[in-house]
Copies of this chain bind each other. A is one copy, B any other.
Amino acid sequence: MALDHDELRRIDAYWRAANYLSVGQIYLLDNPLLREELRPEHIKPRLLGHWGTTPGLNFCYAHLNRVIRERDLDMIYVMGPGHGGPAALANAWLEGGYSEVYRHISRDAEGMRRFFRQFSFPGGVPSHVAPETPGSIHEGGELGYSLVHAFGAAFDNPGLVVSCVVGDGEAETGPLAGSWHSNKFLDPVRDGAVLPILHLNGYKIANPTVLARVPEDELIKQFEGFGYRPLMVSGDDPVYMHRRMAEVVDEALEEIAQIQRVARTSGLERRPVWPMVILRSPKGWTGPGEVDGVAVEGTWRSHQVPLARVRTNAEHRRILEEWMRSYRPEELFEESGAPVAELRELPPEGVRRMSANPHANGGLLLRDLVVPDFREYAVRVSGHGKQSSEATRVLGHFLRDVLLRNPDSFRLMGPDETASNRLSAVLEASDKVWQAQILPVDEHLGRHGRVMEVLSEHMCQGWLEGYLLTGRHGLFNCYEAFVHIVDAMFNQHAKWLKVTRRLPWRRPIASLNYLLTSHVWRQDHNGFTHQDPGFLDVVLNKPSEVVRVYLPPDANTLLSVVDHCLRSRDYVNVVVAGKQPALDFLSMEEAVLHCTRGIGIWEWAGTDRGDGAGPDVVLACAGDVPTLETLAAADLLRQLFPELRVRVVNVVDLMRLQPASEHPHGLPDAEYEALFTPDKPVIFAFHGYPWLVHRLTYRRAGHENLHVRGYKEEGTTTTPFDMVMLNDLDRFHLVMDVIDRVPELGGRVAGIRQRMVDERLRHRAYTREFGEDPAEVRDWVWPY
């Protein structure tokens, strides 16, 4: 459909209004409607914002609004370019959505003054698209994740169209480059659509962009090669560009509708070729052409503030005023400062406005997950530590039923590791989604699956974030070492959650749940590169109101913990659990009690007689392998020192170790001391880097008696017991640590200590001779 003259005039006016409002935010403290001549005191003393990408973002917004109205679309807008804050805010204000959320920023002259002033100003709003920005699920800051967020939002949202502007700077990042392949995972039947708009404005901060500087045939082939049909919009003349963009957006939406219609009725033979838009327009379009004798519009120099010294330089101020007046604000805003009626009527209404679409405030749409009773999946245990289970395999059955009961609101993500992580039971409930070719030999691949596997931690994380932010639930299972690949994405999501918790209008969303398995202690055939428990250290740098870390020691505790995590809101939950056969320590009743407390004494494992005298030594542990070694050490100590009072404390919820003042889960000091004693030696066998425990406990009484064993970067391809020996976490070394720290053992111990040293040597020699651990280690069970 061609734009008629009147439509073109209106859409251009709307664009001019958004551009005006964008420039105003960057520069003005006062005189928002330029009803006086611009004076220095109207200008912000520090100019902190970005113009370059903004006019292009406003241009897309205006055109998307047109099709939303015409087609009554349910659409949200993901802005990839990091510095698009002014555009997102300008459009939200123009649509009225902004003032509904922030009543003091009214849609009038005074509101406009405040709106300009608050931008990138102390006590105001950030210069990037942020949680504070209505209509956003994607923060402008760290680059590379817009397209995965968009796809995540579209999954299981068949009525939604997610438009997504990808900046040509962002497009150079690895995560973005990989995420074009998301189209191999989008189901045209059950999912919504994503409309990527690759915005080539040609420059980053200080350099041209790769995609803007390759020949057009290469550019087009690349995106055809990714499986899209690129529609080009290229130029700088607004009239031409409006007409062309309208045509192209119509064509794209028509094609999306057609693909969905066919897929949902007669069915598609093969993966559809979705349309995308490539928009080539000048950086800083409509801004100052030249400043101080050098070109600005159309170059990297318009990335940030094209005019840097407006307060002190009259010529710069003149250019700014001319620039702002070029948008003809007098035609755009009424005397009151509100947009003129014609502009007010142009955008969609109510929840169809992209700034007010509930999908972009996912908590509004969130329904509770239907969770089966996890107790029904329990391993029946005949005693403490007598038999083995594969914890994640047990969990798989529970997750299978979560998938079954939530057929359109729960997804499981994994980087080609779901089977390796022994969660294969989930495939009884859902296929792995796959829109590329399927061959007869394939198993459990399907067009409509909700188990998602791609060899990209970035895509798993980004898809899940997009899915959660639009009001659904999920879990990401990952090898422990390689979750570091998404450290930065985790950081950004945690920051987002922290901010949203302080915004009452942002409704809580489901927590981001990590299941980290194939962990450091059991990389038998992968070795050193696969051994890294440090994600916990990254996580614990983030605000305590947002992060939770659990180390369930066995299958039943894993079930209890994951049940809790899946029901929670606005957290990042990290669960570390083993996949290898490992002892079951607790019955389900005990597991629930233990997990509810998060930390506790395992009386059955200790020789602390409960007569009030207290223990001589505390063996603490967190994690499945450290718990095993601790119990084996407790067993040795019983035999070696029958009179020694040993207490075993197991930690599931790592946050319990912190002072109550530092974390909501933190134990009060009195309770901490009741568990660990204020003055007895504590030998702590920890899953991760040992100093993490010190960091959590350094303020506790008795900290000087705490001795932590954990991973200290000693590892290679070897047997499980050799791994713990390499890091001094093994049962024999724990006994040596007790001997070294319990003076009550007196002079009788030198021989016993030497026996432990010899045991270690003997075990190592056995392993190197036979290539496996001695049977006494492999088959050890709790003997009492």
Residue numbers of A with Cβ under 8 A of B are 29, 44-46, 48-50, 120-128, 130, 139-144, 169-170, 172-181, 184, 204-210, 213-215, 218-227, 295, 298-299, 304, 416-420, 432, 434, 436-439, 441-442, 445, 453-459, 481-482, 484-485, 487-488, 491-492, 495, 498-499, 524-530, 532, 534, 537-538, 541-543, 689, 691, 694-695, 698, 703, 712-713, 716-719, 722, 764, 767-768, 770-772
Contacts and interface: CB of A to CB of B under 8 A. Distances in A.
A120 B689 contact: no
A712 B542 CA distance: 8
Pick the 6 closest A-B CB pairs, nearest first: A222-B225, A141-B529, A48-B525, A174-B178, A174-B174, A221-B225
B184 A45 contact: no
B172 A529 contact: no
Contacts of A224: 218, 221-222, 225
B487 A484 contact: yes
A393 to B, nearest CB: 15
A331 to B, nearest CB: 30
A130 B717 CA distance: 11
Contact of A416 (B176, B204, B295): B204
A139 B527 CA distance: 11
Contacts of A299: 441
A144 B454 CA distance: 13
17 contacts: A48-B525, A121-B717, A121-B768, A123-B767, A128-B527, A130-B527, A174-B176, A174-B458, A204-B416, A205-B420, A206-B418, A214-B437, A215-B437, A222-B226, A299-B441, A484-B538, A542-B713
Nearest to A173: B456
State the number of copies, please: 2
B538 A534 contact: yes
B143 A716 contact: no
Contacts of A416: 169, 204-207
B538 A455 contact: no
A453 B207 contact: yes
A337 B65 CA distance: 75
A140 to B, nearest CB: 8
Contacts of A226: 218, 222, 225
Contact of A225 (B223, B488, B698, B718): B223
Contact of A718 (B122, B495, B499): B122
B218 A123 contact: no
Contacts of A434: 207-208, 213
A498 B122 contact: no
A491 B534 contact: yes
Contacts of A48: 524-525, 717
Taking each of A304, A498, A534, which has the highest tally of chain B beta carbons within 10 Å of its own beta carbon?
A534
A457 B712 CA distance: 27
Pick the most buried of A174, A499, A534, A698: most chain B CB atoms within 10 A of its CB.
Answer: A174
A170 B415 CA distance: 11
B174 A436 contact: no
Contact of A173 (B46, B180, B458, B495): B458
Given A126-B716, A178-B177, A717-B120, A454 B526 contact: no
A216 to B, nearest CB: 11
A685 to B, nearest CB: 18
A143 B178 CA distance: 13
Contact of A703 (B170, B420, B527, B698): B698
B541 A537 contact: yes
A713 B225 contact: no
Contacts of A219: 225
Contacts of A719: 46, 122
A282 to B, nearest CB: 11
Nearest to A168: B455
Given A122-B771, A453-B207, A543-B713, A437 B221 contact: no
B206 A529 contact: no
Given A122-B722, A141-B530, 20 more contacts: A44-B771, A45-B772, A49-B525, A126-B526, A139-B529, A141-B526, A141-B527, A142-B529, A174-B174, A174-B178, A178-B178, A205-B416, A207-B445, A207-B453, A215-B437, A224-B225, A495-B528, A499-B528, A532-B541, A543-B712
